[in-house]
Amino acid sequence: MTISGYTFVRNAVKLSYPLKESILSILDLVDEFVIVYCEGDEDDNTLEDIKSIGNDKIRIVEAKWDPEKFTKNTLYSYLSDVAKNTCIGDWLFYLQVDEIVHEKYLPIIQKACSAYLNDPDIEGLLFNYRHFWGDYDHCFTHHGWYPHEIRIIKNLPEIHSWRDAQSFRFYENFEPTTEFYMQKAGTRKLKVAKIPAFIYHYGWVRPPYTMSTKQDRMVETWEGRKSETVIVDFDYGPLNWVPLFKGSHPQIMQGLIKELSWQDSLKFTGNPSELRRPYKHERFKYRVKSWIELNLLGGREIGGFKNYRIVAKWK
């Protein structure tokens, strides 16, 4: 059995993605790690950061950053597919560069991959998620934050990234266009096994100005044109509205946790600003739904969209 890790990246260092930590969190598990690299801004040194890891498992594939051709953030799906198509593993582990795997879950993932390798009814493995917000001490369990997602798939040519590359679909026919990446017709959800392992998502943990810059870049890839927005510090809102994280972070993240430098820009008490639209976790109806899900439904989401079909559960 072989496992390929893969991802795509551009401006990761400039935009404060935990790039090296993400790669290293599964590098011992995989037989290769394919990285599609797109050249970024002149003041970004992402390529040098990747090369500094110095591991023969890492294979870099260069690709063009073309948001005008792939709009609505489907550029992310296209680039992740470019990486996928060069992978040689039986299983493919897609890890976005703001996602980390805790070392305690690696044995579970290895065993699940081995157990389901020859099971034709399993096309992917479904992970639980932790979404961190503002700093490393606050983590969402709220309604509106996806609680599960597929991150390991069988190496099948019919499986492609879908929409903004958060998930996957099985396609009857496929062409690499925005229209195909967005469509539901002619596709179906993957059949997956749910495993007791978590992905730690740190995409909302970065300096406020960098967070706003990253969000602005996503507007560009959605619309296919350069944004003219004036960048201001991102408002994380009062963190007392976000649950405290009581678990342990992956060991590979300890360095970044110690280096956090924007505490003075965060607000830990009070109420949300009235000068912006409230975030989902600040809205009354979402807070009520979250309470019901966490206290009465055992964490099951009310009416959440599930882009997968669970056919097995690994215990």
pLDDT tens digits for range 190-204: 999 999 999 999 999
Instruction: Calculate mean pLDDT across residues 273-302.
Output: 85
- Residues 61/79, Cβ–Cβ less than 8 Å: no
Helix then strand count (H, E) for the chain reads 8, 13
- Residues 153/308, Cβ–Cβ less than 8 Å: no
Considering only CA atoms, which of 50, 52, 49, 75 is closest in space to residue 61?
Answer: 50
Pairing of strands 148-154, 139-140: unpaired
Sequence ranges of the domains in the chain: 1-315
- For the record, the structure tokens of 55 come out as 């591991």
Distance CA 296, CA 285 (A): 16
- Please give the pLDDT value at position 307: 95
**Residue recorded with tokens 């599964």:** 26
Pairing of strands 3-9, 91-94: parallel
Instruction: Calculate mean pLDDT across residues 30-42.
Output: 97
- Please give the pLDDT value at position 225: 77
- Residues 103/26, Cβ–Cβ less than 8 Å: no
Instruction: Calculate mean pLDDT across residues 122-132.
Output: 97
Q: Is 6 helix (H, G, I), strand (E, B) or coil?
A: strand
Instruction: Calculate mean pLDDT across residues 77-105.
Output: 98
